[in-house]
């Protein structure tokens, strides 16, 4: 999460979008085996919804916004036309920091999805370019398109909403089965993503990598947690899950 990206900020202002949410998803979330997703995702394909200011150009702005995002993310969002645009009444509630009643009086919701859209590296590349450090450092340096799109599930989102000025939140979630990939339960970040996690992003105050640990104790962390020689600690979450946390700071 970071302050304002010029491109996204420009789109939101130019097309009078109070907030917008765009998600690309490949695969289907398996609730029975994986539980609930850590971050919200969407159905397979691409989904876009936005709150737009009420004016005489609202529908024109919606169409122009889909066209602009189609060009930015190399996706078929321009095919979200009047026939598949909807105005939900109970879902897609506003998430920004503003007076909700004022929003409902001055903005309208538009939503559309393309469930048959193929999600690929052409969508991932422009998404990465919106990050402050791109893929050169930080957790984003692990984002290897060939590995991500070989996973059981993959979803990436960008959320733009008013918070102070404007907040841009980018999330990516993936489900990888190491047994399917290597035939072993052992795994490492370099094995899963094909890349090493080296430096933190210089623009990040702090980067945390959290791993939920098995409860049966039949595992080993390498490097060892709670050691004076590294920055990995173990603790319990509010949901009583045991996790290992690696903290990487910019000066490292």
pLDDT of residue 2: 43
Give just the sign of the alpha carbon dihedral 91, 8, 96, 169: positive
Helical residues (DSSP H) of 145-242, grouped into ranges: 145-148, 178-182, 189-193
Separation between Cα atoms, residue 202 and residue 189, nearest integer Å: 21
* Domain ranges across the chain: 6-203, 205-252
- For residue 165, with 0-12 CB atoms within 10 Å meaning exposed, 13-18 middle and 19 or more buried, which class applies? exposed
What is the per-residue pLDDT for 51? 93
Q: Is 138 left (phi over 0), alpha (psi -120 to 50) or beta?
A: left
The Cα 191–Cα 172 span in angstroms is 18
Residue 76: its pLDDT value, please?
96
Distance CA 141, CA 206 (A): 15
Tokens of 112: 């559309």
> What pLDDT score was predicted for residue 128?
94
Tell me the two tokens of residue 39. Answer: 């971050």
* Sequential pLDDT tens for the chain (252 residues): 444 466 787 888 899 998 999 999 999 999 999 888 888 888 999 999 999 999 889 999 999 999 999 999 999 999 999 999 999 988 888 887 766 666 677 889 999 999 999 999 999 999 999 998 889 888 889 999 999 999 999 999 999 988 777 888 999 999 999 888 788 888 888 888 999 887 888 888 877 888 877 777 677 777 666 665 556 777 777 777 777 777 665 544
pLDDT value at position 96? 74
pTM for the whole structure: 0.86
Of 13, 40, 12, 45, the residue nearest 26 (C-alpha): 45
Query: Structure tokens of 211?
Result: 């791993």
């Amino acid at each position: 999460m970071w302050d304002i990206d010029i491109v996204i900020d420009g789109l939101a202002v130019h097309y009078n979008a109070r907030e917008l949410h765009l998600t690309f998803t490949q695969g289907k979330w398996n609730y029975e085996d994986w539980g609930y997703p850590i971050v919200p995702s969407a159905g397979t394909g691409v989904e876009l919804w936005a709150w737009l200011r009420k004016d005489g150009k609202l529908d024109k702005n919606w169409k122009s916004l889909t066209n602009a995002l189609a060009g930015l993310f190399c996706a078929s969002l321009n095919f979200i036309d009047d026939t598949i645009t909807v105005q939900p009444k109970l879902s897609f509630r506003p998430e920004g920091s503003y007076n909700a009643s004022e929003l409902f009086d001055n903005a309208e919701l538009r939503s559309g999805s393309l469930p048959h859209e193929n999600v690929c590296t052409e969508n991932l590349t422009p998404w990465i370019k919106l990050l402050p450090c791109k893929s050169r450092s930080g957790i984003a340096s692990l984002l290897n398109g060939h590995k991500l799109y070989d996973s059981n599930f993959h979803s990436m989102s960008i959320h733009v909403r008013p918070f102070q000025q404007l907040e841009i939140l980018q999330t990516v979630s993936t489900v990888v089965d190491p047994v399917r990939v290597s035939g072993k339960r052992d795994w490492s970040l370099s094995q899963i993503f094909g890349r090493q996690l080296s430096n933190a992003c210089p623009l990040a105050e702090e980067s945390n990598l959290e791993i939920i640990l098995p409860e049966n104790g039949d595992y080993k962390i390498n490097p060892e947690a709670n050691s004076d020689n590294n920055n990995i600690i173990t603790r319990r979450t509010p949901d009583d899950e045991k996790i290992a946390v690696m903290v990487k700071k910019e000066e490292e």
